[in-house]
Chains A and B, each alone.
Chain A
């Protein structure tokens, strides 16, 4: 399996399936793990770093799920291929821009990716579309057990899993749910939601995680506390309380838009369609902000020129790395904006 095989399809988390998929784009869980007998990366030498990388790749590929995984040496990749992995949410931005021996193993269906030498020696990540935390947990818990039965993992009886940064110590778990909240955005209730979430010690971020803006009305909600709360308690809070509550607010906001601002809502949706299907040059941010009302429009039955699958494809392929991959060459500024508009017109033409 190669990066080329990945770019031919959209990946599991963009299937548009799973619970509450009208609002929940995707769910993710990651576990931070470190080898017990090695220094953390901040004080590891280049040699140690390479040894850690080799050890982990060797052992991971001998586990049941690791056997058919694609092993990618991120250090060897060019910028576009690194970008492809970031845009597909298989590695973090930090991992793409890092230095030295590092990599990722990716399951064929892209539901599991194991980042090696990111901030911690190992970050086991599971990703699925919609709200599917239990399914993800079953997958990555098994991977974690398989890895930890082969390698001694840094663990302390009192503090739990020892991580490079003390903010992850304990379970080392981060549960993140990506929500599409245009309703709350248009009704100007989004800040209130974000504040309430932050009061509950949840992090609210943009599409690509830490330090990014809420492009296309996507908001990622994740836990920050990793010590003193079990993995199941955190999942339970997300699956049964936090996410259903936000989803209910979002659905309510969408209902309000339909009832009280019908024309304004439809105008927004159809204007977005007009621009996307006619623009001659368009930025990535503008594309995302126009795809947002269309996504909502499809779910509300107010837009029918194409469905979620086509929309998710445009969502993915209009991003810089995928776009350049599609064109088979690197595109600079204006060129890229033109290529994006060309792609969108063509894709919409094929779908309608």
Chain B
């Protein structure tokens, strides 16, 4: 059947439906108009093309059930079917499966370069702070700068008790 879309009167009608209510009528629409009318929903996953490809390749290799998120219970298989993760914790719990995928989707990159939230993730901020302070303590002790070392030690203790 090669009819022209009844709405735009231009594109080829590829969506053919029969409305039953209020009266029976056949409608022949192009994909775009059908989508605008809310009859069909086109895939919005072109960004995820690489991801989808990769997922398909992986489907044959593992069942995906052996990886399950501690936070939300999502398995890798769930992720494969939804295309979206369940919670922030998923990144860690599913990392053996996710990391190669992330690497592939981002031109081989695996670590973040760029800004960080202001106060969010106090644990990360604390970890970064602790790493820096412990190094400072080491330096102070090696330089026999005990006053400085004591001050840094207090800072570390304060951070650790947060």
Contact = CB atoms under 8 A, between A and B. Distances in A.
Interface in A161-185: 161-162, 164-167, 169-171, 173
A264 to B, nearest CB: 23
Nearest to A31: B115
A213 interface: yes
27 contacts: A36-B121, A38-B87, A42-B82, A42-B85, A43-B72, A43-B86, A148-B119, A152-B119, A152-B120, A152-B121, A153-B120, A156-B121, A159-B111, A161-B112, A161-B117, A162-B91, A165-B83, A166-B51, A166-B91, A166-B98, A170-B109, A210-B45, A224-B47, A227-B109, A228-B108, A281-B9, A286-B8
Contacts of A226: 106
A119 B84 CA distance: 9
Output the residue of A39, A149, A230, A336 with the most chain B CB within 10 A.
A39
The 3 A-B pairs with the shortest beta carbon distances in the complex, nearest first, are A228-B109, A160-B112, A148-B117
Given A153-B120, A211-B42, A333-B7, A227 B111 contact: yes
A71 B144 CA distance: 59
Given A157-B112, A165-B85, A211-B44, 7 more contacts: A39-B72, A40-B86, A42-B74, A42-B85, A42-B86, A224-B47, A283-B7
A95 to B, nearest CB: 10
Contacts of A97: 38, 41
A305 interface: no
Contacts of A36: 88, 120-121
B102 to A, nearest CB: 5
A210 B45 CA distance: 7
Interface residues of A, number: 63
A190 B50 CA distance: 23
Interface string B128-161: 1000000000000000000000000000000000
Given A148-B118, A285-B10, A166 B47 contact: no
A75 interface: no
B98 to A, nearest CB: 6
A158 interface: yes
A317 to B, nearest CB: 16
Contacts of A41: 84
A269 to B, nearest CB: 21
B127 A228 contact: no
Nearest to A119: B84
Given A43-B72, A43-B86, A145 B124 contact: no
A30 to B, nearest CB: 12
Contacts of A334: 9
A162 B6 contact: no
B23 interface: no
A205 B112 contact: no
Interface in A36-79: 36, 38-43, 79
A161 B121 CA distance: 11
Contact of B47 (A159, A171, A203): A203
A335 to B, nearest CB: 10
Interface string A134-150: 00000001001100110
A170 B115 CA distance: 9
A344 B29 CA distance: 24
Contacts of B43: 211
A159 B112 contact: yes
Contacts of B38: 79, 97
A160 B114 contact: yes
